[in-house]
Structure formats: structure tokens, C-alpha cells
Amino acid sequence: MRDSCGSSGTGETPQAFTPRRLTARPAESEQLERKSTTSHYLVNNNKVCENSLLFILIRKDGIKLRSNMGIYGHRGFSGCYPENTMIAFEEAESIGVDGIELDVQMTKDGELVVIHDEKVDRTTNGTGYVKDLSYEQIRLLDAGSWFDPKFSNQIIPSLSEVLEWVKGLDRKLTVNIELKTDRFDYTNIEKNVLSKVYEYQLNDQVIISSFNQNSLKRVREIDPYIQTALLFIGVPSNVLEDARTLRVNGIHCEPQFASSIEGQKMRENGYPIRVYTVNDQSYVNALKKAKASIIMTDFPNRFLSL
């Protein structure tokens, strides 16, 4: 999958993708004006992890020219950058995603860090469980070279770092925080995550999700208003019952659930359906038909222009 990043399809060595927003040339502007009443646009026409050039159209106020499904960068722009690192989040934001999804674990000394696996082995040069390492030890790890040596300067970010960056943006970016408590039920992680969200006053930009229903229950007990979402795999028949019991606001599911009778039942009962992890554009029509509200993808560039 990573081989498609920046490839021109000519057999030439691809250059690193450096997103930037450029003022549209007159001919492009004229074409855009014929398609919409909004006349001021920015155009990103760099090579972006595809075999062909992809144009992503964004209004100057940051609102994309899409009226259907929103796009979240799954662990950031993780198809082209090391997952759950600041560069992956920054590059996802730079091409105009509606939100980012990230994973939170807790260190031995109680710091909230952004990493998917319970162990650091797969995505760093270290070994061991996050829960057995101090924050200082975590910060010394190289979180980029496993993906590509040019990202050797990337480290595991703290949740605070990510939220501070989001707070400083000039637009609202949704942050889906997945509590990774399905294997280790970290003590007070729900309370600690909510404290960070409150600290940066991002209550209205955060969705907290988890596979662990006890975690979702604890979040709702602490905060009756924060957005929460139930994560699950497959097509279970009891999702509506669980969603009501847990008082979640949405569901995060696989494509097959979105298109199922059970998915239809959730839509009819007012639950937004956010679908993970969609990297193949051939799913788009089915997901539009299923009225999915969000696609979560490692390659947001593939979907932003659809």
C-alpha cells in the first residue's frame, strides 16, 4: 500500500510529498467558477500518494467542496506518513480532512500517549509494553524509521501535544480519540482524557470511541454531553441495544455493517455511521448509498475530491 505514495507511474523515483496550498491559476479559477458560486479557492496539485495527479479543491475558509461524507485521517495520513505521529496529523490537516482519528494508551507514570499498539515494538525502535515504560523512556524512541528512515525525527506524541496543535489551528478539526482499553483497562484513563479535552476547551471537537464498553460507560458517567461512539467489528445484531444502553452518539463500524439491515436500523434511529478503515475507492458508492456520515482512511487524498 505504501508503494503508491507519491508514485508517478513512470518508473521514476518519487519525490517526497510536500503538501502546499497554491492560488489557482486563471484557467483553473474559471473552471471552478462555472461549477460553483464560490469564487475563491485554493488548489493542491502535488503528487499525493497515487499513480496520478489528484486535485483537492478547498475554499479559503477551509470548507471542502463536498456535500456528502466527511473524511477522517485514520491515525493521521498514515498511508504516507508514520501512523499516530505529528507529521501524519499535520499532513492530513493540510490537505483538508474533516477530522483525524488517533489512539491513546497510558504510560507507567500515567502520561497519555498516542500510539495504537499496546507494545511499542511495531512502530518504534524500542520493545515492551507502553504500560511498563515511563513517559521519559517513550519520548526517546524513534517512531518514524520503521516506516521510512527519512522520518527518524518523529516521536510518540503525548495527547496534550496533539490537542494543543488542534487548538491552535485556524479551523475546527474533529479529533476522534480511541481509548485503547480493550486489552489493558488503564486506571482512570477516561477521566484523564476528558481532563485534557477540557484543558484545551475542545469539548465540541472531540469524539471518544472504544471497543471497551466499560470505558464508554465511564466516559458517559463523567460527562453526559461529550460525543461518544461505539466501536465494533462485523455485523452484530445487538448494536442498537448496546448504543442505547451506553448512551453513545454514534457508531464506528466496518463497511459491511454500514450496508447491512442492522446498519439501516441504526440510521433510522438517528445514529451517525462512521466507517473504518476504507482505503479502496470502490467502496464509495455503496457507502454513499448507505448514508455513511464519515469515512476513516489511511489515504484521505483518495477520497477528498470524490
CB contact set of 128 (below 8 Å; sequence gap of 6+): 119, 120, 121
Q: What's at 269, amino acid-wise?
A: N
- Is there a contact between 119 and 129 (Cβ–Cβ < 8 Å)? yes
User: Residue 145: its pLDDT value, please?
Assistant: 98
CB atoms within 10 A of CB 185: 12
Q: Are strands 294-297 and 22-23 parallel, antiparallel or unpaired?
A: unpaired
Angle subtended by helix axes 189-199 and 213-222, to nearest 10: 50
Question: What is the rounded distance in angstroms from the CA atom of residue 203 to the CA atom of residue 212?
Answer: 21
| Closest by Cα among 210, 207, 174 to 71 | 174
Instruction: Identify whether 252 is a catalytic site residue.
Output: no
Instruction: Identify whether 74 is a catalytic site residue.
Output: yes
> pLDDT (tens digit, 9 = 90+) per residue, 253-292?
999 999 999 999 999 999 999 999 999 999 999 999 999 9
DSSP-derived 3-state class of residue 222 = helix
Q: Where are the alpha helices (DSSP H) in the chain?
A: 26-35, 86-94, 135-139, 159-167, 189-199, 213-222, 239-246, 255-258, 261-268, 284-289
User: Residue 11: its pLDDT value, please?
Assistant: 30
- DSSP letter for each residue of 8-22: -SSSSPPPPP----E
Question: Of the residues 6, 56, 58, 74, which is catalytic?
Answer: 74
> pLDDT (tens digit, 9 = 90+) per residue, 53-82?
233 333 333 434 454 799 999 999 999 999
Residues β-bridged to residue 57: 43
DSSP single-letter state for residue 157: P
| The three grid cell numbers given for residue 264, joined into one nine-digit string | 439501516
Q: Which CATH fold would you assign to the domain 66-302? A: TIM Barrel (3.20.20)
| Closest by Cα among 254, 210, 202 to 228 | 210
| Closest by Cα among 45, 79, 52, 6 to 299 | 79
User: Residue 209: its pLDDT value, please?
Assistant: 98
DSSP single-letter state for residue 70: E
Q: What's the pTM value of the predicted model, to 2 decimals?
A: 0.82
Question: What is the rounded distance in angstroms from the CA atom of residue 55 to the CA atom of residue 206?
Answer: 29
**Residues 246, 250, 254: CA angle, nearest 5 degrees:** 110
User: Residue 68: its pLDDT value, please?
Assistant: 75
User: Residue 26: its pLDDT value, please?
Assistant: 29
Q: Where are the domains of the chain?
A: 1-65, 66-302
- Is there a contact between 108 and 131 (Cβ–Cβ < 8 Å)? yes
Question: Of the residues 21, 66, 116, 131, which is catalytic?
Answer: 116
Question: What is the rounded distance in angstroms from the CA atom of residue 253 to the CA atom of residue 52?
Answer: 30
What size, in residues, is the chain?
306
| Closest by Cα among 218, 113, 211 to 155 | 113
Which residues of the chain fall short of a pLDDT of 70? 1-67
| The three grid cell numbers given for residue 39, joined into one nine-digit string | 469564487
Question: What is the rounded distance in angstroms from the CA atom of residue 7 to the CA atom of residue 111?
Answer: 38
